Amino acid sequence: MGTRKALIAGNWKMYTTVVDGCRLALDVAKTAGNFTDREVLIAPPFTILSEVAHVLAGSDIIVASQNVCWAEKGAFTGEISPVMVRAAGGSAAIVGHSERRQIFGETDELINRRVQGALAFGLLTILCIGETLDERESGKTFEVLAAQLKKGLASLAVADMAKVVIAYEPVWAIGTGKTASKEQAQEAHAFIRETLGKIFEKTVAEQTRILYGGSVKPTNIDELMAQNDIDGALVGGAALDAESFGRIIHYQ
């Protein structure tokens, strides 16, 4: 993995309200304990971002939003601006999650605007990409990943990439209990790294963290993290349980 610092990220999706969310955040902070060789991030729902950030203030856990608008403010009903995320205590954002793409119709172009906005306001930006089962079965995985990367990262400079993390999440593995095998994940990650080198330059390929997401559990985290090009995980279901997420944070 070289100099890339591992990142274990928990995406709480549309789960938790203030009481159970704060309890979960506290429990995660407790089970996470002290860590220096890795980073830990939690993305709670917008409605409890500031409460969770408050609870985690004394820890090193990064708080992220699950999506973000590009504009600082304006007539964007239903959206949250990067300035609002910062003011609520967040310092990162997930962008382009497959649920945003598939259920809410977000396009690569829209997602690219979100990425640019998040970066303009200094947020660590996790861009999610991944193929559907159909795309995998018809042999289009690499084509889809390359296109999502190219479009999602359009107009970015090499320097911007210091604040970008890519999450590879095969859509067929999200919430299904079906994890990509470590070989399938490694193959996709290596391809993503190579593509980053082509879009930008070699240093970007070497330095950008690429997380795996899709049914990551305490039982598969170790073998996933042992792969050369897997630098962390984006965890959904298992992040809602402090013990499971704690075990994932403490992968070996």
Phi first, then psi, for residue 165 (nearest 5°) are: -120, 140
Asked if 97 is an active-site residue, the reply is yes
DSSP notation for the chain: -TTPPEEEEEE-TT---HHHHHHHHHHHHHHH---SSEEEEEE--GGGHHHHHHHTTTSS-EEEES---SSSSSS-TT---HHHHHHTT--EEEE--HHHHHHH---HHHHHHHHHHHHHTT-EEEEEE---HHHHHTT-HHHHHHHHHHHHTTT--GGGGGGEEEEE--GGGSSSS-PPPHHHHHHHHHHHHHHHHHHS-HHHHHH-EEEEESS--TTTHHHHHTSTT--EEEESGGGGSHHHHHHHHT--
Q: Which is nearer to ligand PGA, 33 or 175 (CB)?
A: 175
By the rule CB under 6 A, 215 interacts with ligand PGA: yes
By the rule CB under 6 A, 235 interacts with ligand PGA: yes
The nearest distance, CB 66 to ligand PGA, in angstroms, is 9
By the rule CB under 6 A, 237 interacts with ligand PGA: yes
Catalytic residue among 39, 51, 106, 169: 169
By the rule CB under 6 A, 214 interacts with ligand PGA: yes
The nearest distance, CB 243 to ligand PGA, in angstroms, is 15
Q: Which is nearer to ligand PGA, 232 or 237 (CB)?
A: 237
By the rule CB under 6 A, 216 interacts with ligand PGA: yes
**Which range of residues in 52-60, 102-110, 153-161, 230-238 is near ligand PGA by CB under 6 A?**
230-238
Catalytic residue among 51, 97, 106, 131: 97
The nearest distance, CB 198 to ligand PGA, in angstroms, is 26
Q: How far is CA 20 from CA 23, 43, 94, 118, 180, in A?
A: 5, 14, 22, 28, 31
Q: Which is nearer to ligand PGA, 98 or 195 (CB)?
A: 98
The nearest distance, CB 122 to ligand PGA, in angstroms, is 23
Site string for ligand PGA, 172-211 (x = CB under 6 A): --xx------------------------------------
- CA–CA dist 237, 210 (Å, integer): 20
By the rule CB under 6 A, 106 interacts with ligand PGA: no
SS (H, E, C) 39-61: EEEEECCHHHHHHHHHHCCCCCC
Touching ligand PGA, residues 160-179 (CB under 6 A): 169, 174-175
Q: Which is nearer to ligand PGA, 29 or 238 (CB)?
A: 238
Asked if 143 is an active-site residue, the reply is no
Residue nearest to ligand PGA (CB): 236
Residues classed as catalytic = 97, 169
Residues interacting with ligand PGA, by CB under 6 A?
11, 169, 174-175, 213-216, 234-238
